[in-house]
Structure 1
Amino acid sequence: MESPSAITEFLTTRRAKLTPAQVGLPDFGGRRRVPGLRREEVALVAGMSAEYYKRLERGIATGVSEAVIDGVSRALQLDDAEHAHLNDLIRAANAGAHPQQRRTPARKPHVSEGLRQTIDAMSTVPVYVQNGRLDAVATNRLGRALFSEMLDDSTQPANAARFIFLEPRAQTFYRAWETQARQIVAVLRAEAGRSPYDRQLSDLVGELSTRSDLFRKLWGAHDVREHRAGLKAVHHPVVGDLDLTFQAMDLASDRGLQMIVFSAEPGSASHERMQLLANWAETNAPIRQ
């Protein structure tokens, strides 16, 4: 899915966000044909020749060293997720030039019995397991109840990106829907860099690009993000508004899967509503996803 042109698009969008002053360069004025830094300015700050940087931005990534990637990342002020994404794009471009180096696509994630037992035992907090495409792979009882709006989707497996962009209920469920939509696309964009030969991911991106103008616009921005920790503000149809924190953990024992655990601040209204949701789940929600 990701090609050498992805390097071009990613680096172009990153330098468009910066001004000479932001990277410590003087601005001598004059008309700029494109917003942000010129390629020569990126090369200067990165400590390389302009011609070398231009080749990299054209997607010619053979032989690019870690030092070069670090220099470009420093010049473009990339965060950790963006730095990792650039590494992934360069790796994918080189694998495309040398098909024998392509990584074999990962097998369909298997939820081990040990993982099932673990998430079922975490009965006081919602637990949700997803793969890199944001398919729902497993939940515990409370996680199933929390995300019932999405998991009840007739299209299986339920997918967070498909829910956000194609299901009108998502705009009520997520109280900061636009922010959530941007984050979802940024997470998918990072996964596309890591897994450039994932046909199911490519099909998902194609479907969403065709059916959602907003997704297509956000996808073209080439923003990337890791999904590790943060806040989730939702409106549950049974218990109302919930303000939850989450922690996401990659599962070493179940490769390709990420477990997300949600919690509410003790003593808060959200904590009380989570108790109500747990009571409701005991009698209404299926045990497993």
Structure 2
Amino acid sequence: MRSRDMQATLRQDPVGSHPRAVGRSGRCTRTPRPPPTVGDVESLGAFLKSRRDRVTPALVGLRTHGSARRVPGLRREELAQLAGVSAGYYTRLEQGQAESASAQVLDALARALQLDGVETAHLHNLARQPSGGRLSEPPPEDPHPRVLALLQALGDTPAIVLGRRGDVLAWNRAGHALRAEHVDFEAPADPDRRPSVPRMFFLDPLTRDMHRNWSEVARAHIAFLRLTAGRYPTDARLAELIGELSMRSPEFATMWAEGEVADCTVGTMELRHPTVGDASVTYQVWLQPDSPDHRLEIYTPDDPASADALQVLVGGW
């Protein structure tokens, strides 16, 4: 890897021009509100309803006899029948009035709703959430030394290390140049200044303009955030992030309400990079055994023109 300092080659925007795209959200004086609790981000009932709404009777082989329907998908009693539970019990479960649901019941609901493996795991995660539990400050995230050594060994291959909430914990020079050359290269070293990829996607115009398939990639970020919220329901910083984006980005709020959940480990980014122009790259996520919450994301070109663009990018520092 070249050792020239990238700072001289970066296009620097005015200080303070992107105050909310990185780090934690700002604070101001406002009327005190009750502290958020587990389930404020998403409840078991809300997820069940969102999945029920997308399953039509025809999809599961139910006859409707031509009667008018007031719901977009299955009725509660229809889903209960398919899952082999009473309509009253399912109604209480969706309304948050049932104390618990067994793994067998959850699996039956997942089959009736035609959930995939990731959605089924998310359903089980939501069912294990403590009712009315308090959020807590999570422990600090630090990349494992072996991950940093691997990052260094990748040389000119762009790569970044992401934490559970999408914070950039580390990046190599090529990864920084590809993903966010307008952000201070040293920012990931400071936990309070770490770039937040979800915030950048929805609150930073430069990041949005750089992605030609912004909507597709943005939905992938939301789907993974939802999965993470099910895994870590007491994470106060995660709840803060989702709440902030819901309030400040109507597009985030709309996409979040769709209820999609996925473990996005591979995909394509169609870029219009401010330095090298159009490029198409594939991202691949490698999970880390020493720190399973952390994801090493590596970017490879999809075609010769994109490969040339990446060579020009890394050749500039």
Partner residue in 1 for 2:20: none
| 1:230-254 superposed Cα distances (whole Å, 9 cap, x missing partner) | 2121121111112111211221212
Which sections of structure 1, spanning at least 5 residues, go unmatched? 284-289
Partner residue in 1 for 2:314: 278
Aligned residue identity for 1:121 = A
Partner residue in 2 for 1:287: none
Please state how far the C-alpha of 1:12 moved relative to its aligned partner: 0.9
Are 2:71 and 1:34 aligned? Answer: yes
Cα 1:167/1:103, change in 2 over 3 Å: closer
Q: Which of 98, 110, 113 is residue 145 of structure 2 equivalent to?
A: 113
Partner residue in 1 for 2:294: 257
Please state how far the C-alpha of 1:198 moved relative to its aligned partner: 0.9
Q: Which of 83, 108, 121 is residue 120 of structure 2 equivalent to?
A: 83
Contact kept? 2:167, 2:195, Cα under 8 Å: yes
- Distance of 1:2 and 1:218 partners within structure 2: 21
Contact kept? 1:105, 1:195, Cα under 8 Å: no
Partner residue in 2 for 1:130: 162
Aligned residue identity for 1:231 = T
| 1:141-198 superposed Cα distances (whole Å, 9 cap, x missing partner) | 2111111246449882111111111111123211111222222222112111111111
Aligned residue identity for 1:241 = D
Structure 1 consecutive aligned stretches of length 4 or more whose deviation exceeds 3 Å: 60-63, 102-106, 149-155
Q: SS state of the match for residue 123, structure 2?
A: helix
Aligned residues with identical type, % of pairs: 37
Partner residue in 1 for 2:131: 96
Q: SS state of the match for residue 285, structure 2?
A: strand
Are 2:52 and 1:15 aligned? Answer: yes
Are 2:78 and 1:46 aligned? Answer: no
In angstroms, what is the RMSD of aligned CA positions? 2.3
Partner residue in 2 for 1:215: 252
Please state how far the C-alpha of 1:41 moved relative to its aligned partner: 1.0
Contact kept? 1:130, 1:136, Cα under 8 Å: yes
Contact kept? 2:137, 2:235, Cα under 8 Å: yes
- Distance of 1:105 and 1:167 partners within structure 2: 26
Aligned residue identity for 2:305 = A
Are 2:229 and 1:186 aligned? Answer: no
| 1:75-120 superposed Cα distances (whole Å, 9 cap, x missing partner) | 111122211111111111xx236x6xx9986521212322211101
- Distance of 2:289 and 2:107 partners within structure 1: 27
Partner residue in 1 for 2:262: 225
Contact kept? 1:61, 1:90, Cα under 8 Å: no
Q: SS state of the match for residue 259, structure 2?
A: coil
TM value normalised by structure 2: 0.80
Aligned residue identity for 1:268 = P
Q: SS state of the match for residue 281, structure 2?
A: strand
Q: Which of 266, 269, 274 is residue 305 of structure 2 equivalent to?
A: 269
- Distance of 1:45 and 1:186 partners within structure 2: 27
Partner residue in 2 for 1:206: 243
Cα 1:171/1:271, change in 2 over 3 Å: same
Contact kept? 1:150, 1:163, Cα under 8 Å: no
- Distance of 2:180 and 2:135 partners within structure 1: 36
Contact kept? 2:136, 2:236, Cα under 8 Å: no
Greater share of helix residues, 1 or 2? 1
Aligned residue identity for 1:137 = L
Please state how far the C-alpha of 1:2 moved relative to its aligned partner: 4.2
Which sections of structure 2, spanning at least 5 residues, go unmatched? 1-36
Aligned residue identity for 1:77 = Q
- Distance of 2:150 and 2:54 partners within structure 1: 44
Aligned residue identity for 1:250 = L
Cα 1:70/1:43, change in 2 over 3 Å: same
Q: SS state of the match for residue 96, structure 1?
A: coil
Contact kept? 2:201, 2:208, Cα under 8 Å: yes
Partner residue in 1 for 2:96: 59
Contact kept? 2:147, 2:288, Cα under 8 Å: no
Contact kept? 2:226, 2:261, Cα under 8 Å: yes
TM value normalised by structure 1: 0.87
Aligned residue identity for 1:247 = Q
Please state how far the C-alpha of 1:208 moved relative to its aligned partner: 1.2
